[in-house]
Structure 1
Amino acid sequence: MPDLAKEKQEFSRLKPNLRRVWADIKADPMYEHTSVIVPSLSVNQEELAKVTGASYYEERLLFALIRLRNPNARVIYVTSQPVHAEIVDYYLQMLEGIPVSHARQRLHMMSVYDASSRPLTAKILERPRMLARLRSRIDDASRAYLTCYNSTDLERRLAVSLGIPLNGVDPELLSFGTKSGSRKTFTEAGVRHPAGYEDLYNEQDIVDALQSLKSARPGLRRAVVKLNEGFSGEGNGLFDYPDDNSTDAIRTALHALRFSSLSECYTEFICKFAIMGGIVEEMIDAREVRSPSVQMRIHPDGQSAIVSSHEQVLGGSTGQVYLGCRFPASNDYRSLLQEEANKIGRTLSEKGVIGRFGIDFLVCRDANGQWQSYAIEINLRMGGTTPPFHALEFLTGGQLDESSGLFRTPNQQTKFYSATDNLKSAEYRGLLPEDLFEIITRHGLNFRHTTGTGVLFYMIGALSQYGKIGMTAIGDSAADAQDLFERTTALLDAQTGDAGHGEASPIFDRYLSME
C-alpha cells in the first residue's frame, strides 16, 4: 500500500508545475510539451453500468488531439481497449495545416488490453511495466501534465507515479461537487437554488426531509431524491407527494419512487444512499421549465472563466436523463446564467478548485413572465457537454466571446451546434468505423473547413456492438445546426434500414428506446 501522506505531499509539490507549464503554453503557442490523457471514468461503477456502451466513453476525449495543432506538442492517449486506427486518422485529418503523418509521429496511442468494467486508471496502476513505458514516453516530465475525465484518489496516485501534475481538481476538494456539496456552494455563492435538504444518509432522513419540505411549501406536488454521486440523472428518484403528509404516508409513497433507470429498484437505491448520502429538494413546477447548463474552467492561476452554455435535452421515464444539447443557451437568459455561474466559479476558485466543471440549472418564468434561474448541481469533471464544445474548438480554432456567450471563429463567423452522445438504433449495430466513414463521405456530411460547417462523430467504437454513437452538427445558425443534425440522423436511418424514426420524430425523442 502506498504511503498516503507522502503521496499527498508529492501531489502538492507537483501542482506549481502545472501553473508554470500553463503560463508557458499561453505565452508561446509553439511551446514544447507532452499531454498525457487518461480518459478514465473513475465514478461509481454501479451507476456507470446503467450507461449503454460506457467503455467507449473513453473515446470522448479524442478531441484533445487538438493539442497536436502545435507542431512541438506530443500527446499520449491511453485506453482500456485499442482504438480503431481509422478512428484516430479520422481526427488527425481534421487538424488543419498539420500533415497527418507529422501529427501521428507525435501521438502515442496506448492500451492496457483490459475490457473489464473498472476505472482505466486502476488498470494502469496495476501494471508496473505499463507505468514504466508511460514514464519513458513522457520524455521531459517538467514539461508534461495529466488530463483525466474526472479526478479521484486513483488519478492523484497516477499523477504522482508519473511525476507530473494533474490538470484537474484535487481529490481532496471533490466534496464540493457532490449533490450536498453543490447546495452548500450555491448558498455560499449567493445563488438561487431549489429548497431542500442535504447530507442525508438513510430512509428516515429522507422521510423527515420530505415532510419538512411539504410543511414549508404546502402546495408542493413533487420532490427529487438524489444520490450524492449520481450522474446524468441516473441517480435520481422522483417522489410524488400523497394527500396525507404523515410519516407513514410519506414512507409508503417513498417506496414508490420513480427512477430514470429501468434497472434501478428502491432497495438497491436506499442501500447506495446509505453509502453515498444524498439530498432531497423540491421539483420546480412552473411555466416553461428548461434545463440549461454552463461549462466553466478554473485555470491553474486561479482565474475562472465561462467555457460555454447549452440547452440540455433531457429524457427518460422521469425526464432527468441527459440525452444531448444545443449550443448556446437561449438569448433570453444566457447572460443571467453566466452571471450566476461566475459567482459559483469565484467561490470554487477561492477553495482551490482548478479544471473544467459543469453547472446544471433550471430556468422558468415567474408570475410576471420573467425568467428565473435555479442552480441544480455542480459536476467537478468533464461531462456530456464537454465533447461537443471540444469538437467546435478542434474544428474551427475559434473561441467563446464571454461577453455575448457566442462562439466565433478566427474570421469572426458565429457558430452553433446540436449534439448528442446518445444517438442509438438497433439497426446501427454491426456498423464498423469504415462503414460509417463510407456513408458520411458519400453523402457529403464531413466537416468542411471552407465553410466551417458539418458533422463530427465520436464514440465511434460503440457503433458495432451497441448501435450507439455521439454526434455534433455545426451550423451557421441554431436552425441550420438542428437541420443538419436531423438530416444526418435520417441518413443513418435510411442507410441502415431504420427509416422513418429520424425524419418523423422530434429531435432526441427515440434515444432511450434501446435501454
Structure 2
Amino acid sequence: RQLKWDFQKHSDTGLGKTLDFKEMETAIDKSENEMKVTVYFFYCNKTQKHRSTSLAEEPENECKLTFTIKQGHINPSDKDLIVFKRSSGLCWSSVEQALRPLCQLLQAYAVPMAVVKAEQLVKLAQRWNGEWEGAPPVSSLISVLYNQGKVLDVLSRPGQRFKGEGGAKAAAVHIQSCWRRYTARSAYLRYCRCKWAVGTISLSWLMHTQLCRVKKALQARRFSHLENQRCRAQHLAANWNYIQGSKRTIIHIPSLGYSQSQRCNLRNFDVVQNIQIGRLCEIRDENVEVIYVCPMHLKEDMKQYYSSLLKSNRPQEESLAETLDTSLSKTQFIMLTPEAVDYFPVDMCLSSLLKYSPHTLQRIRRLVQGKHSYIVPGVAHVDDLAVADELGVPLMGPEPAVSQLYGTKSGARKIFRAAGVEMPPGAEDLYSLEQLHERLAELMVQHLDVTLWLFKMDSELGGSALCDVSHMKSYAWALNLYQRYGPDTWRSEGIQEPVVAQFLKEIPEWLSSHAHPANTSEHWAGFLQTFLRQGGVVEARPPSHSPSCVTVDLLLEPGGHISMLSCGDLLQSPCGLKVLGSSVPQTSLCSDTLQWIYTLVGQACLEKGIVGHVSGLALTSDLCLLQVWALDLHLSYSDHLAMTQMLLYSTQGTLSCQNSFEVPMSNTEQETEESAEKVQSRKRHAVLSSRLFHASLPMLYRSVFFQMCKAHGIGFNPQKKQGTLFALYDSSERRQIGMIVVSDSPQRALLTFAHNLSVIHQEISSSRTQGGTNFKVRVNVLMIPSACNQKHFSAAYSCLSSLNYNKYKFHI
C-alpha cells in the first residue's frame, strides 16, 4: 500500500501512467493473506510482459540446470550454459558478474572441474546486488557448486594456491611478504629487547643506588647507635658507684638474639624467652625498681601468682588504652608487653619486637624519666642498641659484635686461654673436615690418656657428640708405643708422626661408627654437616667416671669490679652432656679455688670489653679436686641466675662463694629465747630446675594445680624458709614450669624434689594420656646425690637406702 501511495504521488511525472494500478492492488491484497509482499511490475509492452510471465511460470526448469567449469574456464558452446543463459533473461548480467569471481577462484587454485547449480548461482547474484559491496566470500561462492566436497579438498591442499594461474607470482609475493614481515618482526623484537634491557638496567641501577643509600643510612644509624651506647657506657662506668648505691631502675629485656635459623628451630620461642621471668625478684634490693618486658600477654592467673610471690599488688601490664601516669613507686616493678607481639611472627627476638613498638617505648621513656636507669639484655642483638638509643639509657652488656665473637664455644676457649686458667685439651675454630681430622689425630696422639672426646658446636643452641677412642683399632698399638718410649721421648715429632698418620686413616670410619650425638636425634652425618657449617670445638672429657660441674654467675660491673651473684652444682644426665638442674650452694670446689678462677676469667672478659652478666662452667676431674677445667662461658643473663633471684627473694637469704646459703630466721619459730638470740640465720640447701616439661600440665587450671599440690603438702613455708616454689612461664601452652625446693640439708632437698615430681606426675597422668615428659630423667638423676661433696656422700647414700624410693619413681 505504501508503494501504491508512492506511485500515486509520482503520477504527474508520467511514471504512474505506465503501471496498471488495478493489477498492483490485486497482488498486494493477495500478499497480505500469505504474509508476503510480491510486487510485479508490468510494462505496457506486451512482449516484455510475456517474457516475465514465462520465467515465473517455469521455476522447476531452472532448478534442474547445471553447467561445468573446467580449470576455471567456461566453455561458451556448452549446451547447459546456453540453456541457462536463455532462461535467465534480463538477470544474466548479474549472474555473469557473480560467475566471474567464481572462475577466478577456480583458476587460482587449479580446480580441474566444478559443477555449478544454476538456481544457486541466480540466488547468489541476487544476494550480491543487495548485501555485498565487493566480491562475495569464498564460502558463498563454493555453496553454488554441486561437488563442493571435492572442490574443498582441492582448495585445502597445502601450496595449491601456487599451482594455478599466476601461482609463481603469488608465491614470490608471498615469500617476499613473509621475509619482509620476518625482518620487520625481528627488528621490532630487537627493539623491544633493547628497550626492555634499557628499562631493566635503569631500574636495577635505581634499585641498586637506593639500596646502597639505605645500607649506608642503616650503617650510619647503627654506627651512631654504637657510638651513643659507648658514650652512655662511659658515663655509666664513671658514675657506677653512685648509681649502685642510689635509687635506680633496671629495664630487663630477656631477649634471645640468636640467628634466624636457630630461632625458627626453637619451639615456643616466646615461652623460652620468658623463662627468665625470675628477674622480677631483683626488687629484693629496696633501691631497685624493675621494668620487665614480657614477650607475651599474661593472663590474670599469672599476674595474681607473681603478685602474691612478690608480696605486692597485682602487676600492672599496661595496654594502649590505659593511662600513662602510673609510676613504679607503689609496686616497685611493672610488666610491659610490646604491642608488636600481636602483629609480628613469634620467632622474632624480644628486642626487635620492642623496637617496633612505639607506644611501649614511649611508656618506658616516661617511667625512667629523671631516674638512674640501665638495660639488662639477654643474648646480645643489634636491636638492643636501637632500643637503648631510643630510650636514651645505657646497655649493661657486651656489644653485639663482641658477643658474637666471644659468645661461642671457640670464643670461650680464647678467653680462658687469655685468662690463664686450665681447660680441657682441644682445638677450636674447626670449619673443614680435613682440619677436624688432622687436629683430632694430633690431640689423640698428644693425650693418649684421654679416652672420651667431645665435639661441640660453636652455637649456644648447638648439640654435642661423644666418641670413645678405645674403639679405634690402632689405639692399643699406640699405647704400647707410648709405654715403650716413655712420656719424655714420646713428645718428639719423629715418633708421633707414624701414629698420627695411622690415626688419620682410621678416624673417618671410627667417627661414623662410634660417634653419637647427645642432644639431638640425628645421626653422625647430619651432626657433622651442621658442625662444619657453624664451626665448633673438639675437647677432651675428664678421665674420672664421676666429674662434678659447677656453674657460676658473675656481674662484671662497669666500674671494673667483679662480683659473684650465684653458684651451684649442676645436675647432669647420665651421659654428662645434658643439664637437668642445679643445687645451691655448690659443694664441689673450695671457695678459694672458685674465687681465683672466676676472678681471672672476669678480668680477661673486662680486657675484651665485656661487661654485664656472665655465666661460666668449671669442671672437676675427680673427687679429690686435683684438677679443675674451665668448660664454657655465656655472655648473658642465665636461667640459673633468674631462678636464684627467685630463691633469694623468697627466702630473703644470702648466697656466698664460701659454700654457704644462709637465710634469716624470725623469732616466731619454736625455739628458746637464748637460741634465738644466738642463731640469727640458718643454712639452707636448694635444688633448682627451670625446664620441667609435662604434656598433661595444660589439662589443669592453675588454681586446680596449686590445690592439688597443697593437698599433697607441696608448698612453701615462709616462716621456716623452706618448701617448694614454682615458676610459671606462660598462660597458653602451660607445658613448662620451673621448680625450687628449699630444705635444711642437700639430701632432703634432693628427695623432696624427686617426691614432688613423682606426686605431680601420678596426679596429672593416666594410662590414656599420651605425651612426653622429662620428669623421669630428673628423678633418676636425683637418686644419686651428685650435688653433694664427698663429706656428705655417705650420709646421703644411707638416707637414700633407708627410704623406700621405689614409690617415687615414674613408670612411663
SS in 2 for 1:458: strand
Distance 1:16 1:439, change over 3 A: farther
Aligned 8 A contact 2:253 2:293 in 1: yes
Which structure has greater helix proportion? 2
Report the Cα distance in structure 2 between the residues aligned to 1:513 and 1:236, rounded to whole angstroms. 29
State which of 731, 737, 746 in structure 2 corresponds to 1:469. 737
Report the Cα distance in structure 2 between the residues aligned to 1:81 and 1:417, rounded to whole angstroms. 29
Letter in 1 for 2:441: Q
| Corresponding residue number in structure 2 for 1:107 | 334
Pairing 1:497–2:765 present:
yes
1:196-235 Cα shifts (integer Å, max 9, x gaps): 111221222211111111111234332111111234xx42
1:438-484 Cα shifts (integer Å, max 9, x gaps): 3334444333321111222124427x736332111112221232233
SS in 2 for 1:495: helix
State which of 703, 708, 714 in structure 2 corresponds to 1:434. 703
Report the Cα distance in structure 1 between the residues aligned to 2:569 and 2:242, rounded to whole angstroms. 35
State which of 374, 377, 384 in structure 2 corresponds to 1:155. 384
| Corresponding residue number in structure 1 for 2:720 | 451
Report the Cα distance in structure 2 between the residues aligned to 1:48 and 1:258, rounded to whole angstroms. 25
Given the two structures, how large is their TM-score scaled by the length of structure 1?
0.86
Contiguous gaps of at least 5 residues in structure 2: 1-217, 316-328, 475-501, 665-679, 768-772, 784-807
Pairing 1:286–2:515 present:
no
- Tell me how far 1:92 sits from its aligned partner: 2.5
Report the Cα distance in structure 2 between the residues aligned to 1:55 and 1:222, rounded to whole angstroms. 36
Distance 1:200 1:5, change over 3 A: same
Matches for 1:92-491 after TM superposition, within 5 Å: 92-96=307-311, 98-100=312-314, 104=331, 106-111=333-338, 112-113=341-342, 114=344, 116-125=346-355, 127-130=356-359, 132-140=361-369, 143-174=372-403, 175-231=405-461, 234-241=462-469, 242-244=472-474, 245-256=502-513, 257-315=515-573, 318-330=575-587, 333-365=590-622, 369-402=624-657, 404-410=658-664, 411-461=680-730, 465=733, 467-491=735-759
Q: Identity percentage over the alignment?
A: 21
| Corresponding residue number in structure 1 for 2:93 | none
Report the Cα distance in structure 2 between the residues aligned to 1:91 and 1:69, rounded to whole angstroms. 14
- Tell me how far 1:119 sits from its aligned partner: 1.5
Letter in 1 for 2:582: C
Distance 1:441 1:2, change over 3 A: farther
Report the Cα distance in structure 1 between the residues aligned to 2:710 and 2:686, rounded to whole angstroms. 20
1:353-376 Cα shifts (integer Å, max 9, x gaps): 22221111221228xx55321111
Report the Cα distance in structure 1 between the residues aligned to 2:284 and 2:625, rounded to whole angstroms. 44
Worse-superposed segment, 301-310 or 165-174: 165-174
Worse-superposed segment, 47-56 or 444-453: 47-56
1:280-309 Cα shifts (integer Å, max 9, x gaps): 111222243222222222122111122222
Given the two structures, how large is their TM-score scaled by the length of structure 2?
0.56
Aligned 8 A contact 2:413 2:428 in 1: yes
| Corresponding residue number in structure 2 for 1:6 | 224
- Tell me how far 1:429 sits from its aligned partner: 3.8
Aligned 8 A contact 2:276 2:643 in 1: no
Report the Cα distance in structure 2 between the residues aligned to 1:272 and 1:377, rounded to whole angstroms. 20
Report the Cα distance in structure 2 between the residues aligned to 1:103 and 1:56, rounded to whole angstroms. 28
SS in 2 for 1:252: helix
1:67-89 Cα shifts (integer Å, max 9, x gaps): 44567754332233212332232
Aligned 8 A contact 2:614 2:633 in 1: yes
Aligned 8 A contact 1:179 1:378 in 2: yes
Letter in 2 for 1:240: D
Report the Cα distance in structure 2 between the residues aligned to 1:78 and 1:177, rounded to whole angstroms. 23
Aligned 8 A contact 1:65 1:92 in 2: no
Aligned 8 A contact 1:292 1:362 in 2: yes
SS in 2 for 1:385: helix
Worse-superposed segment, 241-250 or 81-90: 241-250
Report the Cα distance in structure 2 between the residues aligned to 1:513 and 1:205, rounded to whole angstroms. 46
| Corresponding residue number in structure 1 for 2:795 | none
Distance 1:115 1:86, change over 3 A: farther
Aligned 8 A contact 1:445 1:488 in 2: yes
SS in 1 for 2:780: coil
State which of 270, 275, 279 in structure 2 corresponds to 1:64. 279
State which of 76, 81, 87 in structure 1 corresponds to 2:296. 81
Contiguous gaps of at least 5 residues in structure 1: none
Aligned 8 A contact 1:309 1:329 in 2: yes
Aligned residues: 502
Letter in 1 for 2:249: T
Distance 1:489 1:170, change over 3 A: same
Report the Cα distance in structure 2 between the residues aligned to 1:87 and 1:253, rounded to whole angstroms. 51
SS in 2 for 1:92: helix
Aligned 8 A contact 2:590 2:659 in 1: no
Aligned 8 A contact 1:17 1:142 in 2: no
Report the Cα distance in structure 1 between the residues aligned to 2:350 and 2:521, rounded to whole angstroms. 24
- Tell me how far 1:506 sits from its aligned partner: 2.7
- Tell me how far 1:146 sits from its aligned partner: 1.3
Distance 1:134 1:276, change over 3 A: farther
Letter in 2 for 1:89: Q
- Tell me how far 1:487 sits from its aligned partner: 2.6
1:52-73 Cα shifts (integer Å, max 9, x gaps): 6543133333222234456775
Letter in 1 for 2:744: D
| Corresponding residue number in structure 2 for 1:91 | 306
Report the Cα distance in structure 2 between the residues aligned to 1:253 and 1:141, rounded to whole angstroms. 64
Aligned 8 A contact 2:779 2:809 in 1: no
Question: What is the CA RMSD across the aligned residues, in angstroms?
Answer: 3.3
Distance 1:476 1:200, change over 3 A: same
Aligned 8 A contact 1:178 1:228 in 2: yes
Report the Cα distance in structure 2 between the residues aligned to 1:511 and 1:130, rounded to whole angstroms. 50
- Tell me how far 1:117 sits from its aligned partner: 2.0
Larger CA Rg, structure 1 vs 2? 2
Aligned 8 A contact 1:416 1:481 in 2: yes
Report the Cα distance in structure 2 between the residues aligned to 1:386 and 1:6, rounded to whole angstroms. 32
Report the Cα distance in structure 2 between the residues aligned to 1:42 and 1:60, rounded to whole angstroms. 15
SS in 2 for 1:339: helix
Report the Cα distance in structure 2 between the residues aligned to 1:350 and 1:513, rounded to whole angstroms. 52
Which structure has greater strand proportion? 1
Worse-superposed segment, 16-25 or 193-202: 16-25
Aligned 8 A contact 1:47 1:235 in 2: no
Letter in 1 for 2:467: F
